[in-house]
């Protein structure tokens, strides 16, 4: 599994949280101006050139929240969903009624409540 990303991007950080918390091995393909090879691969995968982009078993998955949900569906793990509040703040929601804070989160929502309010 490869992640095309940059560590300073909050969208990418959201996916990195899911990868680390769900204990998934991956290759970090850093998108930086001095790495033309990674940039070319990235552009071929996603012509809009937005990051993050995940490649897993030949599948290309784009959009941070969709990547987080893809990882949860495909591999399971504690981070099930990455939700963006209308304020743009990100919380990670755990199954059932439990929830916990993740780095950068300013508020914690519980499962059903978060889904009702954030989708």
Ligand X SMILES: N[C@@H](CCC(=O)N[C@@H](CS)C(=O)NCC(=O)O)C(=O)O
Contact region with ligand X (CB under 6 A), list: 37-45, 50-58, 89-97, 108-116:
50-58
Q: How many CB atoms lie within 10 A of CB 86?
A: 7
The verdict on 63 binding ligand X (CB under 6 A) reads yes
Buried b (16+ CB within 10 A) or exposed e, 20-50: ebbebebeebebeeeeeebbebbeebbeeee
The verdict on 71 binding ligand X (CB under 6 A) reads no
Closest CA to 50 of 33, 32, 63: 63
- Among 18, 51, 93, 99, contact with ligand X (rule: CB under 6 A): 51
- Among 9, 22, 39, 108, contact with ligand X (rule: CB under 6 A): 9
Residue 56 pairs in a beta bridge with 59
| CA–CA distance, 5 with 50 (Å, rounded to integer) | 9
- Among 50, 105, 108, 110, contact with ligand X (rule: CB under 6 A): 50
Q: Which is nearer to ligand X, 18 or 52 (CB)?
A: 52
Q: Which is nearer to ligand X, 50 or 74 (CB)?
A: 50
Binding site for ligand X (CB under 6 A): 9, 11, 49-52, 63-64
């Amino acid at each position: 599994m490869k992640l095309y990303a940059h560590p300073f991007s909050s969208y990418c950080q959201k996916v990195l949280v899911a990868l680390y918390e769900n204990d998934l091995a991956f290759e970090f393909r850093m998108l930086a101006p001095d790495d033309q090879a990674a940039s070319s691969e990235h552009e071929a995968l996603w012509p809009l050139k937005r990051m993050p982009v995940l490649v897993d078993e030949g599948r290309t998955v784009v959009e941070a929240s969709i990547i987080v949900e893809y990882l949860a569906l495909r591999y399971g793990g504690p981070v099930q969903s990455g939700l963006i509040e209308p304020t743009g703040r990100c919380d990670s929601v755990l199954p059932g009624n439990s929830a916990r804070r993740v780095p950068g989160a300013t508020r914690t929502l519980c499962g059903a409540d978060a889904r009702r309010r954030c989708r």
